[in-house]
Amino acid sequence: MPLPLLLAWYNEQKRDLPWRKTRNAYRIFISELMLQQTQVDRVVPKYQKWIAAIPDWKHLAISSTQKLINLWAGLGYNRRAVYAREAARDVMANGVPTTEEGWRTLKGVGPYMAAALTEFVNHQRAIVVDTNVRRVVGRAFSGKPFPLAKDDTQILRTLEHVTPRHGNHWDVPQAFMDLASSLCLPRIPLCDTCPLRRACKARHLFSPDRLAHTLARKKTVKTIEARHAEKKFPDRIYRGRILAWVRLHGKTRIEAVGPRIDGTYDPIADRMWLKSMAQRLATDGLLRLGTGDTLSLPKS
């Protein structure tokens, strides 16, 4: 069983992260929300600034959208900031969840985050699978060099089997995550220094004589995202740019934003595309769409 080797490595090499130094449910919740699809080194300063400005559930529940957007700037997927406020209002009304099912009822909390909060806040056993955990477990236990979400059924079974039912089982997902970030890298893992190197079923696939063949077999899986015409980026990138422009420059007309977010903007061909993105941001509660097609940050 390679798990003791992993945990021994983790106890010596674990990352020094601020949200690992607390059992405060609010602080761990904010960290997990920020860490969704955002790298740790970008999250740490944003997390610290957020906690200083909005220290608890009560302050978050009454924070304005403008304040949330300003604090969230740079993390992407800005709706998460508004979801956080909705979750805080739920917690203020019903208390901090004490079960995985309870965490799932909060806005913006999916299966991974609910399991993570159950482990890290409640210290109740839950099976936590994110991209990093998937990569390490898929390689070490199943011999898959580049495991995908479709492999999660097998990975969940493996984790159910190897995760201890007593003791500090909340360290297990953290250990997998730290190993993935430092050694079990997405493309070329550093197998020679990995604590699981003797037990890993995929290690031989990354040996010098097999590496080229393994990488050649890797299939690139592209996420299908909404994209207008021949634009360089998916719509979510341009929505983020619209929000950033209004946040920095204040109230402005939709048409004036077009050339600012896209160097190829055509006022005729792209007008309805631009307006639909602005309306989407307004529907999400991130912008206010006023008379004369003006955009501004919500005041509440």
**What residues are annotated to the active site?**
32
Give 224's contacts (C-beta < 8 A, 6+ positions apart).
Answer: none
Q: Read out DSSP for 5-24?
A: HHHHHHHHH----GGGG---
Are 221 and 148 in contact by the 8 Å Cβ rule? The answer is yes
Nearest alpha carbon to residue 47 among 14, 13, 24: 24
Residue 232: how many CB atoms within 10 A of its CB?
A: 10
* Gap between the Cα atoms of 283 and 161, Å rounded: 44
Burial class (CB in 10 A: 0-12, 13-18, 19+), 291: exposed
Are 156 and 212 in contact by the 8 Å Cβ rule? The answer is no
The torsion defined by the Cα of 221, 223, 229 and 231, in degrees rounded to 10, comes to -90
* Gap between the Cα atoms of 158 and 290, Å rounded: 53
